[in-house]
Amino acid sequence: MDDKDRQIIRALQRDGRMSNQELASAVNLSASPCLRRLRNLEKDGVIVGYAARVDPKAYGLAITAFVRIRLERHDESTVQTFEREVARMEEVLECHVMTGQTDYQLRVVVESLEAYEDFIRARLHRVGGIGSIDSSFAYGTVKDSMVFPNR
């Protein structure tokens, strides 16, 4: 991947709906080479898909929680079960394996505090093998970007 490929990616991260002609103009290429590079980035798995970014509050999901999970054990069965079950939970938008005191950090969206309590009690607790759950709630957002930094 070269700098021109990175320019294409950054332009699409800013506006994934731009036409190939607009993209080519934004990165100073003619349309055919731009489209060829774009198709190669898709084929090589660098660009993995396209999606609409939606305001969670406008959608009805007013609560964003960051949930830190520590497992009781780190054996293969416990880890696989946890990861499989979390992958099935629609409320979990992200699940990251962490270093330090926490094994996983989740980003969870729900409509209310009551819905969050239900998520914890009815969904997460039932997974089993969890040693601790520590939650923090976002009450505002300073920056929310999908555009990678320039390299």
Mean pLDDT of 75-96: 97
Q: Is residue 144 part of a domain?
A: no
Verify that 70 and 114 share a domain, yes or no. yes
Residue with tokens 């969870």: 108
Please report the pLDDT score of residue 151 as a whole number.
Answer: 77
Please report the pLDDT score of residue 139 as a whole number.
Answer: 94
Q: What pTM value is reported for the model? A: 0.88
Rounded CA separation 75/81 (Å): 10
Domain that holds residue 120: 56-138
Rounded CA separation 27/80 (Å): 43
Q: pLDDT tens digits, residue range 110-149?
A: 999 999 999 999 999 999 999 999 999 999 999 999 999 9
Dihedral sign for Cα 113, 117, 118, 119, please: positive
Q: What percent of the chain stands above pLDDT 90?
A: 98
CB 38 within 8 A of CB 1: no
CB 20 within 8 A of CB 38: yes
Verify that 76 and 128 share a domain, yes or no. yes
Verify that 61 and 37 share a domain, yes or no. no
Q: Is residue 145 part of a domain?
A: no
Verify that 29 and 76 share a domain, yes or no. no
